Amino acid sequence: MASAAILPAAKNLEIYSIDVEGGQATLIVSPSGESMVVDTGWGGHNKRDAERIAAVAKAAGVKKIDYLVITHYHSDHVGGVAQLAEKMPIRNFVDHGANVEDNKEGQVLFNEYAAYRAKGNHIEVKAGDTIPIKGIEVKVISAGGKTIDAPLAGAGQAGADCAGFQMHDADPTENAQSVGLLISYGNFRMIDMADLTWNKEKDLVCPANKIGKVDLYLVSHHGMNMSGSPQWVNTLRPKVALMNNGARKGGSAEIWQTIHDAPGTPDVWQLHFAVSGGKEHNSGDPFIANVDENCEGKWIRVDAQKDGAFKIYNSRNQFEKSY
């Protein structure tokens, strides 16, 4: 990361998917120059994840985090808050409110996060809210176990194969509480549902599609098969999927194949080669940021224009493709 080129100030919407080894850390830079980070990866690991986020922020010309969205209180999403707060100022902390898990580890994580949250401005969001970052629209479509009630403008059509949807067991964990976001810049639309699980996703696409089509799908739950049903993917009809998997976390063959089989055969960009998937269930080398399990933490960048056109760049091999 030390050799990353210093990039000019954002003219379009810039989205960086940062490798935190199977957690989430996404940096979003609005054309206005305001920044939003969605989750902070893991704690520990000699401050690995906080350093990777800070290095990408520096390369993007970002000196502070205007909005830090913590989607839910699991260690691969909220664990790095304390270490990141030591490296960069954080103005606003956005989350779904109270922690629903009462185990000791969960409470320790939440209490540590809450201590840093108290040093900034706290915004508790619910489904239907908007995060007020200038230059783009960030709509909250799930939070605290609830999803939006009514279809967004232009949506409302029937979902894909809803009659064939197979329910999973109810999920009592923080995953089902995830803050899910629809990020729009003009005609460009990106969806990031964090770890929202299978049954909750259904509420957004079956029987009616409350979201509409998207251009970029940040693959739910790192590509684990607790999320990402065929009905979900086929209803959203993404042009491109971006998977924040680790070498041995997420990236399941089942979910990779579901996306590959979706209408239009979307490209699947991956932060890691998924060891369990083999060559049959991983994308080609140009689309993978980290091909070795012991990696350098390479990232993927999306540059989106207001007319809906976008391009994706792989920092490992400088491969770029336009859509």
User: Domains of the chain: which residue ranges?
Assistant: 13-315
Tell me if the pTM is above 0.75: yes
pLDDT in the model for residue 305 = 98
pLDDT in the model for residue 11 = 82
Longest dimension (CA), the chain: 51
The pLDDT averaged over each successive group of 10 residues in the chain (323 residues) is: 48 96 98 97 96 98 98 98 97 98 93 96 98 98 98 97 96 98 98 98 98 98 98 98 98 98 97 97 98 96 98 98 98
Architecture of domain 13-315: 4-Layer Sandwich (3.60)
**DSSP calls for 92-152:** EEEE-SS----SHHHHHHHHHHHHHHTTSEEEE--TT-EE--TTSEEEEEEETTEE-SSPP
Angle, vertex CA 298, rays to CA 141 and CA 252, nearest 5: 55
Alpha carbons within 13 A on the beta-carbon side of 166: 6
CA–CA gap between residue 270 and residue 211 (Å, rounded): 24
pLDDT in the model for residue 112 = 96
C-alpha distance from residue 202 to each of 146, 218, 244 (Å): 12, 17, 22
